[in-house]
Structure 1
Amino acid sequence: MTSGSDPASGASGSLPPQLRPVRRISARRRDESHRVASPLELFFDLCFVVAIAQAGGQVVRVIADGRAGEGLLDYAMIFFSIWWAWMQFSWFASAYDNDDVLYRLATLVQIAGVLVLAAGVSRVFAEHDFLAVRLGYAVMRLALTAQWLRVAGATTGTERGMALRYAGGVLLCQAGWLGVLVSPGPVRPWVFLAMAIAEICVSPYAERRVKSSWHPHHISERYGLFTIIVLSESVAAATAAVKSGIEENDALAELLPYAAGGLLLVFAAWWICFAVPIHGHLRSRRQAFVWGYGHYVIFASAAALGAGIEIAVRKEVGHADLSRLAANATVTVPMAVYLVTVWALHSRFFTAGVIRQLVLPGSAGAILACTFAGHWSILAAGLVAALTVATGTALTVRTAAREARTA
């Protein structure tokens, strides 16, 4: 073996392409086999959940203090920033992840950005100060812009144009986000809404001539893993609330219905979301666009579910300044929204017959009715969710048996 072909020689040109520290970035194939989430992507998701946990903890405090409208508005704005940065990276990575040193460094910079954002969450809820949140968001978006510029430098033609439009659109939006910082309080939500719409329009504008080569199985796995992590955070938040209530107020008997009902709700949320694989449905850009963007509601409602359970527990032990009906609604409304959204984006494409189609919307209505069940509201909602899973499973088995007999 010559020194030019010896990997130990340290010359990057002598290494196989997959081992070189810096490699040309190019589109990955949509039909690539065994395409799964990488360890870096899993690390990325876990760090993003830190920001979600911060937002959930702060919204619990604000709602428990009787400022629900104010808290929910701030929560929605912060959650959009987290979700949008996560989603844009996930779709980029599905198309262009080459896992070289520059790609890893840019991803780690995005992680640093979300941690800056997480550090500023409490100031948003306490003082409506968005400076740290916007700074962290800008760090994440500028790091992704650098990735798109890498693509532009390594490609030609329409693909290069797409990459430049992405980079330019993201940069223009970052300038626009300054308006959120300088706008007065009553106007700020409207400025935020305008900038959120502008951000959403960047992707259709950038890909109007050529589409990025995202991988259906990979992108569905990424969304599924993030859903699991968010649901796990809901379990952690609810567990901490019940533990605190038991230790500080000796309220084990009073909190058992909340613990049992909350656990049933989270278990059912997981089961329903992963009843059937979705990647086969993501055949076109339009289908993937609606599905991917619609997950804002799924992620936000899944995160809000844990916060709601914590608020309901606080109300039970006398640490929340709101009515029992309102406290119950912080659990039942997110769960109902979650069920309807999962049905609209996912389940309805894999169910046949009116009865099966009505299971999730009907369950959402029944869970909303549980809001009025007083102390037993959360347990009742959990039992309805468990019954929903059992009913859906039974109908699926019966349909499969019927199809097998007629085959």
Structure 2
Amino acid sequence: MIKALKHRDPNEAHRASTPLELFVDLASVIAIAAAATGLHHGIAEGHFQQAILSFLLAFFGIWWAWMNYTWFASAYDDDSRLFKLATFAFLSGALVLAAGIMEFMDTHTLTLVVTGYVIMRLAMVWLWLSAARDNATHGATCRRYAVGIGLAQIYWIAIGIVLWQWTGVMIGLFCLGILIELGVPYWAEKANPTPWHRHHMIERYGLLNIIVMGEMLLAIAHAIYAAISGGTMNAEIIQLAASAAVITFSLWSLYFSREDHLQSRAPHRTFLWGYGHVFIFAAGAATGAGFAVMTEILSHHAHVSAFVGNIAIAVPVAIYLGGLWLVRDQFNLPFRDAAILPLAAGASLVTPFLPFSTVVLAGIVAFAAVLRAARSPAPTRQE
């Protein structure tokens, strides 16, 4: 017998992330670190196409599972034993997924990745069915989620475990699976939107962004160590570390601006904000990988040129800035001010062709952060 989960008030005061949600974040960061490490090593070895594709496929699985759990918890985390046990099952799947990503980056075998992902998603099926039992208003929505997620897992088992080969056709089938997954919430929420908490979701996304940016901080620490580990100071790596720190601090400042990220509960805004963050999160992890690639290049441990390292930093930084415009600035600022981040993103893409690329890039991002802060309006909150 499936027990019921009680829904929460979407206007609950002082709603904050729970220790259990932070525990889920911790498991997610392990998987994100594995994907970023694979990207870093693949680019440093010159295996560009496979490294980038592997990173994108792996990151989607991590982000999508985290996102679905987070939106569910915002609406139905009743702190019951059932919810905790299902979350522990979800966490177990996340650890299997993290181990699978390490295998996938080395051998391109998806069996362990898909196994971990399916464990996480089946835990969500159980949670959605449990929520449906207590909720006449949103019961149809919850059942749609359970059915859609369950069918999607049959698809992933078929192509990820039974049929998987590293071919163009299979990549296309994988992309089709992504579209199926992305379509489930849109279809389910059509029945009746779930009672998620707006401020809670803004906080949850901000916390994951901080975790992802930890990849940048870790890469900076490694760069500092590489600069001094040879017995003499490596000025080029010190310059890289300093520039990387400026870029990281500036990206943090740009994300955590004064106004709310999500000022409306309208479905089109909610989906764009929720889905569009994948560009920010993936770009943040990839930027950390880019710092690590450049450190290996400057310490003569990579098989690619400095130009490749500069691209590995500039491109994800540009995507991060463009993602922020997509989910926030185009809605919160007048046209002239909203153009700050797209212009900075465009300028970032030019920097690999310039001398002192990372220094120039750091200057561009820092200038954008200062200018954006000056133009940031006072917070306006809408429930």
Fold equivalence (TM over 0.5): yes
Aligned equivalents of 2:64, 2:95: Cα separation in 1: 15
Tell me, yes or no, if the aligned pair for 2:212 and 2:281 is still in contact at 8 Å: yes
Aligned partner letter, 2:349: L
Whole-Å separation in 2 of the counterparts to 1:146 and 1:135: 17
Equivalent of 1:285 in 237, 249, 267: 267
Cα distance in 1 between the residues matched to 2:203 and 2:69? 14
Q: Residue 309 of structure 2 aligns to which amino acid in structure 1?
A: A
Letter matched to residue 318 of structure 1: H
Q: Which amino acid aligns with 2:283?
A: S
Q: Which amino acid aligns with 2:98?
A: A
Identity %: 36
Cα distance in 1 for residues equivalent to 2:72 and 2:318: 31
Residue 368 (structure 1) aligned to one of 349, 357, 365: 349
Shift of 1:233: 2.4
Say which one has the larger Rg.
1
Deviation at 1:39, TM superposition (A): 1.2
**Scaled by the length of structure 1, what TM-score is found?**
0.88
Report what 2:196 is aligned to.
Answer: 214
TM-score w.r.t. length of structure 2: 0.93
Change (3 A) 1:197 1:353: closer
Q: What are the Cα deviations for residues 219-275 of structure 1, in whole angstroms up to 9, with x where unaligned?
A: 111001100111122211332244135314745312111001101111111100111
Amino acid at match of 2:75: A
* Cα distance, 1:23–1:209 mapped onto 2, change above 3 Å: closer
Residues 66-105 of structure 1 correspond to what in structure 2 (within 5 A)?
A: 66-105=46-85
Match 2:21 to one of 32, 41, 46? 41
The code of the aligned residue for 1:92 comes to: F
The answer for the alignment partner of 2:87 in structure 1 is 107
Match of 1:350 among 332, 353, 356: 332
Shift of 1:286: 1.9
Superposition pairs of residues 152-301 of structure 1, within 5 angstroms:
152-156=132-136, 159-178=138-157, 179-181=159-161, 182-186=163-167, 187-248=169-230, 250-278=232-260, 281-301=263-283
Query: CA 1:246–1:68 in structure 2 vs 1: closer, same or farther (change >3 Å)?
Result: farther
Q: Deviations over 1:353-395 (max 9, x none)?
A: 52x2221111112222211234x21122112111112222334
Correspondent of 2:365 among 380, 385, 396 = 385
Cα distance in 2 between the residues matched to 1:371 and 1:177: 38
> Which shows bigger deviation, 208-217 or 147-156?
147-156
Alignment length, in residue pairs?
Answer: 374
* Contact persistence 2:213–2:248 (CA under 8 A): yes
Q: Which residue identity is paired with 2:340?
A: V
Please say if residues 114 and 140 of structure 1, whose CA atoms lie closer than 8 Å, have aligned partners that are also in contact: yes
- What is the CA distance between 1:183 and its match in structure 2? 3.1
3-state SS, counterpart of residue 27 of structure 1: coil
Q: Aligned partners of 1:328, 1:197: CA distance in 2, in Å?
A: 32
Deviation at 1:306, TM superposition (A): 0.4
Q: Secondary structure at the match of 1:226?
A: helix
Aligned-CA RMSD value? 1.8
- Residue 301 of structure 1 contacts residue 337 of structure 1 at CA under 8 Å; is this kept in 2? yes
Q: Which moved further from structure 2: 377-386 or 290-299?
A: 377-386
Partner of 1:403: none
SS in 2 for 1:177: helix
Q: Which residue of 2 aligns with 1:11?
A: none
Q: How far apart are the structure 2 equivalents of 1:279 and 1:370?
A: 29
4+ aligned runs moved over 3 Å, structure 1: 248-251
Deviation at 1:343, TM superposition (A): 1.2
| Residue number in structure 1 paired with 2:44 | 64
Q: Which amino acid aligns with 2:263?
A: H
Contact 1:245/1:314 (<8 A) preserved: no
1:129 and 2:109 aligned: yes
SS at match of 1:346: helix
CA contact (8 A) 1:121 1:133 kept: yes
Per-residue CA deviations over 1:121-163 (Å, capped at 9, x if unaligned) read 122111111111111101100111110111122233x522221
Contact 2:74 2:196 in 1 (8 A): yes
Paired letter, 2:141 = M
Deviation at 1:276, TM superposition (A): 2.6
CA 1:116–1:249: 2 relative to 1, 3 Å: farther
Partner amino acid, structure 2, of 1:233: E
Name the CA shift for 1:352/1:321 in 2 (closer, same or farther; >3 Å).
same
1:143 aligns with 2:130: no
Deviates more, 1:235-244 or 1:324-333: 235-244
Unaligned runs of 5+ in 2: 379-383
Q: In 2, distance between residues paired with 1:31 and 1:384?
A: 40
Distance 1:241 1:136, change over 3 A: farther
Stretch moving more, 261-270 or 246-255: 246-255
2:308 corresponds to 1:326: yes
Cα displacement (A) at 1:27: 1.9
Residue identity opposite 1:192 in structure 2: F
Q: Partner amino acid for 2:278?
A: Y
Q: Summarize the Cα distance change of 1:364–1:188 in structure 2 as closer, same or farther, 3 Å threshold.
A: same
